[in-house]
Chain A
Amino acid sequence: DTAVSQTPKYLVTQMGNDKSIKCEQNLGHDTMYWYKQDSKKFLKIMFSYNNKELIINETVPNRFSPKSPDKAHLNLHINSLELGDSAVYFCASSLKIPGDETQYFGPGTRLLVL
């Protein structure tokens, strides 16, 4: 059973398009995250949701809008895609238990904007 899954795995699109990436976790976690990994492999957090509420927003452009319909899902919608959005996007989840908040990552979505 996949713990944290993302769809699609690959996404190739034109500049200016709008696209969505979906994330689901079946671990019973209450906190979910989106991270961006650039071409140099550098990983940076974008958003975090706890119980469907936004709790971290790391100065990400307004074109990026996360949506959490329930605790098990956190989707990422990107408007007006730009070349610089090309990256690998990772979803992650964790349980808010003090002392054991290990984050578990999905396989990533490789986005290429042409």
Chain B
Amino acid sequence: GDSVTQMEGPVTLSEEAFLTINCTYTATGYPSLFWYVQYPGEGLQLLLKATKADDKGSNKGFEATYRKETTSFHLEKGSVQVSDSAVYFCALKIIQGAQKLVFGQGTRLTINP
């Protein structure tokens, strides 16, 4: 069935380091892909999305490119900040009569000053 696999966490980096969180998916057809972020004690917020192959989603310095050939949607940021500490979820949207999101297991990111 459709699934999303994220890199195991937790991930700990120093401020201004380069970030990559890997995400690969299995799906029939061409799903839309999303990254959501959950800050401590809060709900999920949409970070970025891409709806077709080779699309690049970007927001707040984060980027992810929809790679059909590798079925991947890796999240990157060139210089992380302490305020980026959160749990990041990769998700795909499938439509089986109705649309639903299938989430990866989440990656906890901690940025140290």
Contacts and interface: CB of A to CB of B under 8 A. Distances in A.
Interface residues on B, range: 20 to 34
Interface string B88-109: 0100010001111111011010
Contact of A55 (B36, B38, B89, B97): B97
Interface stretch (B11-19, B20-28, B40-48, B68-76): B40-48
Nearest to A41: B106
Contact of B100 (A41, A45, A96): A45
B77 interface: no
Interface stretch (A65-73, A75-83, A104-112): A104-112
Contacts, number: 55
A55 B100 CA distance: 10
A33 B43 contact: no
Interface residues of A, number: 27
Contact of B49 (A42, A45, A102): A102
B103 A42 contact: yes
A38 B93 CA distance: 20
B5 interface: no
A109 to B, nearest CB: 10
User: Interface of chain A, helix or strand or loop or mixed?
Assistant: strand
Interface string B24-58: 00000000101010100011111001010000000
B98 A55 contact: yes
B87 interface: yes
B106 A43 contact: yes
A45 B101 contact: yes
Contacts of B51: 99
Contacts of A106: 43
A35 B91 CA distance: 13
A56 B100 contact: yes
Contacts of A31: 98-99
Interface of B: 32, 34, 36, 38, 42-46, 49, 51, 87, 89, 93, 97-103, 105-106, 108
